[in-house]
């Protein structure tokens, strides 16, 4: 990782955190209203769906299919999350699945950086200064690497970072009556605070969901399901289920396991925008559960 890449990632961690500190002051002074919260909510959902549905379930695992124009739309939405270019994100995540919780995993809390808090720190944030974006595109994301339009989207990632902050800023400026105060509030709530929360929810899947939580299936890695993260992560925190069946479009496999991303994909399928949605039959789930029960204590 180059020094410039490391500094850019550091800024991506520090600047949104500074925005959260400013937002606390704004809340204390009642300098927030439904417009600010609506901008935050829309930006959060749009960019989080870009990550969970677009980057993850569609582009990384091919859990369902869509037309090329929609695939590229999801890639653009994912890049607005400011979690890296589409090729970097997909390659890193495929490498994670190829080496889960063993040497070569870009962000495991169990290898390479000690255990306990040091391992959790690496999995959550530390990896951004060392291994983020280092997975070989040709090896781990060849399908995207060989797509000129997808490569072009990835190449313009810096412009998406600017757009990710500019969109809520302009929206706040307009909805607050064309005032600079409104622009600042949109920038803070829809920009910095939203980026901070999307980032840390995503990173919590890397860290928390490989350390704390419950397990159901007979798999070798240390992935876990973490129920309290299900809503903010839009279903990604049923991470143990995901590692048991990586191509499943649905990570919440039990009726009570809330998975908003799966509901979104189901909605796309109902209106004809998604096809070939991968569903894991109950028999396959039971077989893997039974296999776990037979493992000696």
pLDDT confidence tier of residue 1, bands split at 50, 70 and 90 = low
Q: Is the pLDDT of residue 164 over 80?
A: yes
State both tokens at 31: 């300098």
SS3 115: coil
Of 14-23, 43-52, 217-226, 278-287, give the lowest mean pLDDT range. Answer: 14-23
The Cα–Cα gap between 33 and 25 comes to 14
Of 8-12, 29-33, 257-261, give the lowest mean pLDDT range. Answer: 8-12
Of 149-153, 169-173, 218-222, give the lowest mean pLDDT range. Answer: 218-222
SS3 149: helix
Residues 6+ apart with CB under 8 A from 203: 123, 124, 125
Q: Is the pLDDT of residue 292 over 80?
A: no
Cβ-contact 201, 184 below 8 angstroms: no
State both tokens at 173: 């400026």
Extents of the domains making up the chain: 3-215
pLDDT (0 to 100) of residue 293: 55
Please state, as a whole number, how many other Cβ atoms lie within 10 Å of the Cβ of residue 146. Answer: 11
The better pLDDT of the pair 80, 293 is held by 80
Of 42-46, 119-123, 140-144, 196-200, give the lowest mean pLDDT range. Answer: 119-123
> What does pLDDT average to over the chain?
92
Q: How far apart are the first and last CA of the chain?
A: 42
pLDDT (0 to 100) of residue 114: 67
What's the pLDDT tens digit per position in 142-162?
Answer: 999 999 999 999 999 999 999
What's the pLDDT tens digit per position in 223-276?
Answer: 999 999 999 999 999 999 999 999 999 999 999 999 999 999 999 999 999 999
pLDDT (0 to 100) of residue 291: 64
Q: Is the pTM of this model over 0.85?
A: yes
Q: Is the pLDDT of residue 296 over 50?
A: no
């Amino acid at each position: 990782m180059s020094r410039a890449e490391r500094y850019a990632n550091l800024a991506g961690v520090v600047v949104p955190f500074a925005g959260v500190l400013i937002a606390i002051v704004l809340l204390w002074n009642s300098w927030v209203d439904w417009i600010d919260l609506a901008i935050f909510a829309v930006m959060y959902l749009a960019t989080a769906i870009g990550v969970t549905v677009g980057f993850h379930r569609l582009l990384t695992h091919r859990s369902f299919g869509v037309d090329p124009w929609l695939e590229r739309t999801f890639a653009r939405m994912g890049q607005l999350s400011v979690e890296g270019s589409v090729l970097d994100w997909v390659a890193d995540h495929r490498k994670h699945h190829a080496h889960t919780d063993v040497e070569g995993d870009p962000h495991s809390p169990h290898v390479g950086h000690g255990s306990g808090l040091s391992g959790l720190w690496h999995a959550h944030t530390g990896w951004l200064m060392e291994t983020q974006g280092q997975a070989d595109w040709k090896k781990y994301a060849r399908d995207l690497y060989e797509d000129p339009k997808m490569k072009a989207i990835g190449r313009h990632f810096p412009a998406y970072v600017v757009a990710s902050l500019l969109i809520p800023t302009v929206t706040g400026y307009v909805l607050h009556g064309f005032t600079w105060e409104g622009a600042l509030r949109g920038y803070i709530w829809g920009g910095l605070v939203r980026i901070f929360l999307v980032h840390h929810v995503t990173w919590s899947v890397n860290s928390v969901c490989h350390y704390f939580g419950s397990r159901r299936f007979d798999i070798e890695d240390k992935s876990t399901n973490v129920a309290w993260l299900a809503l903010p992560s839009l279903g990604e925190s049923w991470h143990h289920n995901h590692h048991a069946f990586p191509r499943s479009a649905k990570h919440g496999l039990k009726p009570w396991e809330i998975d908003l991303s799966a509901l979104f994909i189901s909605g796309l399928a109902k209106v004809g925008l998604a096809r070939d949605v991968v569903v894991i039959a109950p028999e396959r789930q039971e077989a893997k559960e039974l296999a776990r029960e037979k493992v000696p204590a």
